[in-house]
């Protein structure tokens, strides 16, 4: 297992290098002079030349990339041109809020998606199976912003039992206030993932349940509960973990829309404002953080594969 881990870590190095090159190139892919864009309409040739020198834009691109990558490795993501503050503390503060939202959505997707998928497979071709797959299809068909608006109309404005915006009340709050504010955006963000997990879990479980070793276990008198939750689920988990790993990435990236609908103070909302303000250091830092998170999420999924199926790490 240690050798497999080292091999997968080594494979992430060229991926991280490619990500860093793409993120660095963002500053130069925008039309026009980056320094001129940052200074705005009131810029002068002198101020543009001075900013180009301060940012190192007058040097060759490989030299600029080496200097930028060296600062990134040391934790220096630059300063926001709008807030005039260090980028890294700002994006980490917002990223924590995004992780709270993503974690809530992930818990919802796992509990309801995998749970409903298992039950739909166990009660295959029954009324429960039909209703569960109909609900999953509806969840897949509704865009996130539509689900969020409907949830606000019903639970925040109609029934008035849940808040519709922010992480805490204006006066501040405790953990239970956070849970109340988290419930609607987490369900909204996790609805599509729950629907996908439900359908994939059902398919994987049905395929496993029909295998010969499951019929043999039943013939030997093994309890149905043990067959489903120990034997079948373990062997169906490769497919489930694959889909789950993809959905974690989707939840991180898709949180932008949910944060906008529910005014959640996360990284996605900050990135939208940074793009509108042409705050390139902030945009670069946010994109780099999300992209690196995707890489290590995929690494974690691969390690879980190797733990679930030892043949993977020996192949």
Q: Do residues 266 and 101 lie in contact, with contact meaning Cβ atoms separated by under 8 Å?
A: yes
Exposure b/e, 197-218, CB count within 10 A at least 16 = b: bbbbbbebbbebbeeeebeebe
Per-residue confidence (pLDDT) for residue 108, from 0 to 100? 93
Hey, what domains does the chain have and what are their CATH numbers? 2-73 (no CATH), 91-277 (1.10.3720.10)
Which backbone phi and psi does 208 adopt, to 5 degrees? -75, -40
Q: What is the CA radius of gyration of the chain?
A: 24
Q: Do residues 193 and 248 lie in contact, with contact meaning Cβ atoms separated by under 8 Å?
A: no
Which backbone phi and psi does 222 adopt, to 5 degrees? -65, 140
How many CA within 13 A on the CB side of residue 296? 7
Q: 210 by DSSP, 3-state: which?
A: coil
| Sequence-distant (≥ 6) Cβ neighbours of residue 236 within 8 angstroms | 201, 204, 205, 207, 208
Q: What is the pLDDT along the chain (315 residues), one digit of tens a residue?
A: 677 677 777 888 888 888 888 888 876 666 666 666 666 666 677 776 777 776 676 777 788 888 888 888 888 888 887 777 888 888 998 899 999 999 999 999 999 998 999 889 888 889 998 998 898 888 888 888 888 899 899 988 888 888 888 888 877 777 888 898 999 999 999 999 999 999 998 988 888 887 777 778 778 777 777 777 777 777 788 778 888 888 887 888 778 888 888 888 888 888 888 888 778 888 888 888 888 888 888 888 777 777 766 665 555
* 159, two tokens: 């029934």
Per-residue confidence (pLDDT) for residue 107, from 0 to 100? 93
């Amino acid at each position: 297992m240690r050798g497999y881990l080292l091999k997968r870590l080594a494979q992430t190095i060229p991926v991280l290098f490619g990500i860093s090159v793409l993120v660095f190139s963002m500053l130069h892919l925008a039309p026009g002079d980056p320094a001129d864009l940052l200074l705005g309409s009131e810029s002068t040739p002198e101020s543009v030349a001075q900013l180009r020198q301060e940012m190192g834009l007058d040097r060759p691109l490989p030299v600029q990339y080496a200097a930028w990558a060296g600062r990134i490795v040391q934790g220096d993501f630059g300063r926001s041109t709008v807030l005039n503050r260090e980028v890294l503390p700002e994006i980490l503060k917002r990223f924590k809020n995004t992780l709270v939202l993503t974690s809530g959505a992930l818990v919802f997707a796992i509990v309801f998606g995998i749970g409903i998928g298992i039950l739909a497979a166990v009660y295959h071709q029954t009324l429960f199976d039909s209703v569960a797959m109909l609900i999953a299809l509806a969840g897949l068909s509704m865009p996130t912003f539509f689900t969020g608006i409907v949830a606000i109309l019903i639970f925040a404005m109609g029934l008035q039992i849940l808040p519709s915006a922010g992480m805490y009340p204006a006066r501040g709050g405790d953990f239970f206030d956070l849970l109340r504010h988290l419930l609607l955006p987490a369900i909204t963000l996790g609805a599509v993932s729950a629907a996908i997990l439900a359908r994939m879990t059902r398919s994987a479980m049905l395929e496993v349940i029909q295998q010969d070793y499951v019929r043999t276990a039943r013939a030997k008198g093994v309890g149905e509960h043990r067959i489903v939750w120990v034997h079948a689920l373990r062997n169906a988990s490769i497919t489930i973990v694959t889909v789950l790993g993809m959905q974690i990435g989707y939840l991180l990236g898709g949180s932008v829309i949910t944060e906008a609908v529910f005014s959640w103070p996360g990284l996605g909302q900050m990135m939208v404002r940074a793009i509108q303000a042409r705050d390139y250091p902030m945009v670069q830092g946010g994109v780099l953080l999300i992209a690196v998170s995707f890489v290590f999420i995929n690494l974690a999924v691969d390690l879980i594969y190797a733990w679930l199926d030892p043949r993977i790490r020996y192949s």
